[in-house]
Amino acid sequence: MTNSTSTPTLTGIIGDRVGATAMNRRTFMAAGAAVGVASAVQVRLGTRPAGAATSPTGRMVVVYLRGGQDHLSVTVPFTESAYYDQRPTIAIPDSAVLDLDGTFGFHPVMTGLHSLYQAGQVGVVVAAGNPAGNRSHFVAQDLSELGADEYPDDGQGWVARHLGGAVSGESFRAVSMGDLVASSLRGYPALAVSSLDTFGLGGRSGLTAGREDLFRMLYYGDEPIERLGHQALDAAGAASTLTGSTEVDPLRRQFADLAVLLEADLGIEVATVDIGGWDTHGPMGTASAGDMRNLLGVLDVSLSDFIADLDQRGQDDVTVVVMTEFGRRVEENGSGGTDHGWGSAMLVLGSGVVGGVHGTWPGIDPATVAPRFDVPVTTDFRDVLGEVASSVLGTDPASLFPDHTAQPVGVMV
């Protein structure tokens, strides 16, 4: 079962009850839009951390594959006999992979991403991960979103450290597409947008914008909760003229709505998208059918369509990072699946990316992966995130990862 560590949010623009006695601050934040604040972190509004960026050069989208995505199904080491020896039923035949560099290949269903790779817009970082090596979904997701190999004292998400606490005039600086705000934004009052069509004043209740003055009165003052209330109203007003996607599939709708938000130039610096289902203990299937092909097919279409949508809208300053909490074991299990492992593959997409395969590949022969049969980690995930954040957001990686000295891996121009 995939476990999400997204933080609880103060959700909504208006409550479901319409009687005047029901209109209080809690019911205001009960439906429609969302402003997220982690309960364990005190948000100091109006401050920014030392080393944070003041003039981002682009926008960043972080796509999190929840459940522990299998490195060796995304980037197949098709020249290694050990790969086929340890995966007798689920290995991708070398004749079927989409070649990347003569050593690795994409899963054959990943045609859209392969085309982007051939155009130099995809960087693949092999053997990436958290040196902590924790294989608990809950802990590993927390640590990766906090940008740490152990729980930090500040409890903040790594993206929130870039954003600081400034709110005024910046309602859309950080957005999570979905019902919950990602833990990487913990400590910053970010927005959660499950759908543009239901985001805004009224939400599920059907109340109209004519009630806005009343709700602003409910949040009169300058306390943090009152400023958050006004932030939600300001965000609703800014998005009120936008047309959301009609996609039925929630994931495709989230990516389509995100493209609309990015084109609208509302001040987004960072957005997050979650894709679940990657805890593949059960039968993964083969190159031509099964759960892994289906999962990677959805990922491929979602990302390649999103990039195409951005290109069509002229939004060429967006960089996408794809990550997961840990990889899977090299050897398949008795169910034809894979159990929790360590090293994973990270993807970076965009026009500012240095295309190709990056990182140091340790190999997966039995002597290298013993005793747990995990892909070893040779690139700290924070090195990838730090390089992207530095290039795209203009921020000092030291302010994002105070307990780690990030080393660039060469994935950004």
What is the pLDDT at residue 25? 44
For the residues of 44-100, what is the DSSP string, one character each? Answer: -TT---TT--SS-SSEEEEEEETT---HHHHEE-TT-HHHHHH-TTTPPPTTTSEES
Given a cut of 50, is residue 27 above it in pLDDT?
no
Given a cut of 70, is residue 11 above it in pLDDT?
no
The model's confidence at residue 281, banded by pLDDT at 50, 70 and 90, is very high
Distance between CA atoms of residues 71 and 3, nearest Å: 19
Q: Which of 27-36, 293-302, 375-384 has the lowest mean pLDDT?
A: 27-36
Given a cut of 80, is residue 5 above it in pLDDT?
no
Distance between CA atoms of residues 104 and 69, nearest Å: 17
Distance between CA atoms of residues 132 and 134, nearest Å: 6
Closest CA to 403 of 143, 110, 189, 165: 143
Given a cut of 80, is residue 7 above it in pLDDT?
no
Residue 275: strand pairing partners: 65
Given a cut of 70, is residue 183 above it in pLDDT?
yes
Given a cut of 90, is residue 293 above it in pLDDT?
yes
What is the pLDDT at residue 169? 52
Give 93-101's long-range contacts (Cβ < 8 A, gap of 24+).
93/287, 96/287, 100/75, 100/124, 100/356, 100/357, 101/356, 101/357
What is the pLDDT at residue 207? 54
Distance between CA atoms of residues 298 and 300, nearest Å: 5
* Other C-beta atoms lying within 10 Å of the C-beta of residue 288: 11
pTM above 0.85, yes or no: yes
pLDDT, greater one: 14 or 302: 302
Mean pLDDT of 186-198: 91
The model's confidence at residue 236, banded by pLDDT at 50, 70 and 90, is confident
Residue 30 structure tokens:
């009960």
Given a cut of 90, is residue 131 above it in pLDDT?
yes
Are the C-beta atoms of residues 207 and 18 closer than 8 Å to each other? yes
Q: Which of 37-51, 60-74, 91-105 has the lowest mean pLDDT?
A: 37-51
What is the pLDDT at residue 65? 98
182 phi-psi bin (left φ>0, alpha ψ -120 to 50, beta other): beta
Give the Å distances, CA to CA, from 360 to 100, 128, 321, 401: 15, 9, 19, 22
What is the pLDDT at residue 212? 79
- Write out pLDDT tens, residues 200-215: 776 545 555 567 788 8
What is the pLDDT at residue 230? 84
Residues in the chain: 413
pLDDT, greater one: 391 or 224: 391
- Write out pLDDT tens, residues 255-270: 999 999 999 999 999 9
- Write out pLDDT tens, residues 110-130: 999 999 999 999 999 999 999
**Interstrand relation of 270-275 and 59-65 (parallel, antiparallel or unpaired):** parallel
